[in-house]
Structure 1
Amino acid sequence: MSNLAPSLTAARQLADEYPNHKVTLLLLTDFQLFDADINRVLTDIATFPGDVHAVVLGGTQVDGLMDERVQITKATYTDPPGTVARAIFASLVNHRPGARPI
């Protein structure tokens, strides 16, 4: 169960404070959203001023739910060890010149 609105607000404020920086929003959630306004949350994700990578935990279906600009990695208990770590690392090095995720 997730409540993303407060975290999205904080991430947006941080990104707005550094307009000359490349930013990546990394979401790790099951997307079983319990926010009061789910449409607003999805809009905030889609309009984030930078790259967005959603790591969907547990197999929740998000096909057609997320904006096409959002990179999605699905991770379930049947995935090999390191699936989530590789997704996180890929987001961390996304804007680093010459860096390549493993």
Structure 2
Amino acid sequence: MIRQPLLASELQSPVHLSVRPKPGPQKRQPTIQLGNPGRCPSGLTLVIIITEESGSLGGPAGNDPISNRYNEARHAVTVLARHCRCGRCLAAVIHFDTPTSRCIDPTPLTRTGKLRILSGLAVPPDAAGSSYLGPGLAAAEAIAARHPDHEVVLIILTDWELFDTNLPELLARLTTFKGSLFAVGLRNSPPESLAGPMITSLTIRPESPPGSLARAVFAGLTAHRQGKQPAATDPP
């Protein structure tokens, strides 16, 4: 597993998220910390999130960070948008079934732009639940090519149970993607072939602590920000 360390700074205290309890008898839930995103970079950045909707990722959300993946991803975007006003930091959302009604073109990560980005972080009503990475990766490559002056970060949220017939070729393309890659495995670890200085591989399981996926997305969103401060608990 390859990890890129998160930098510390003397900025504000970490942001907290209270977890909604499961139905039934309530008990005190742990507090989720995301840390501080730091300052906007001086250059242009673009974060592309590719996410899967296959049935294997469903089920009751509760405190399961996998089934609750969109709520946690939305929280990470919301926290960052509170600190970003430069208009140079962009984010895009691509679903495996692209194009869908919830695929979002590059949009500024500002308080206004976040509403559009957040609208993409949900299951599209017109998604079939594809397990093919190819279309989403092609869309991400096209977006990156249209933004040659941006530092690009690609975040992939999938269980890596992919049906693509040319999977070795797709994985090779990921290792040479223009920019940094955060390969997030939901239930299953990312392939071992996804290795390199620009690649961070993370595995999140149903039993992972609440907020694990939010912290993973947050790490990708803040990859190029200055003086960022990690939460007390690093991504798993």
The alignment of Structure 1 onto Structure 2 pairs a total of residues equal to 101
What SS is found at the alignment partner of 2:150? coil
User: What letter is aligned with 2:196?
Assistant: E
In structure 1, the partner of 2:171 is 42
Using the alignment, how far apart are the partners of 2:176 and 2:139 within structure 1? 14
Offset of residue 3 of structure 1: 1.1
Q: 1:15 and 1:47, CA in 2 relative to 1: closer, same or farther beyond 3 A?
A: same
Offset of residue 87 of structure 1: 0.1
- Between Structure 1 and Structure 2, whose CA radius of gyration is higher? 2
User: What letter is aligned with 1:80?
Assistant: P
Deviations 1:17-75 (A, max 9, x none): 1111101000001111111210111011111000000110113463x332334210100
> Is residue 5–residue 35 contact of structure 1 (8 Å, CA) maintained in 2?
yes
In structure 1, the partner of 2:195 is 67
Name the Cα RMSD after superposition: 1.5
TM-score (norm 1): 0.89
> Is residue 183–residue 190 contact of structure 2 (8 Å, CA) maintained in 1?
no
Q: 2:182 aligns with which of 33, 53, 56?
A: 53
Using the alignment, how far apart are the partners of 1:100 and 1:35 within structure 2? 38
Q: 1:89 aligns with which of 218, 227, 231?
A: 218
Matched, 1:15 2:144: yes
Matched, 1:30 2:159: yes
Offset of residue 101 of structure 1: 3.7
Using the alignment, how far apart are the partners of 1:101 and 1:50 within structure 2? 21
Using the alignment, how far apart are the partners of 1:61 and 1:51 within structure 2? 15
TM-score (norm 2): 0.40
Relative to its length, the structure with more helix (as a share) is 1
What SS is found at the alignment partner of 2:169? helix
User: What letter is aligned with 2:200?
Assistant: Q
Q: 1:92 and 1:8, CA in 2 relative to 1: closer, same or farther beyond 3 A?
A: same
Residue ranges of structure 1 left out of the alignment (5+ in a row): none
Residue ranges of structure 2 left out of the alignment (5+ in a row): 1-53, 55-130, 232-236
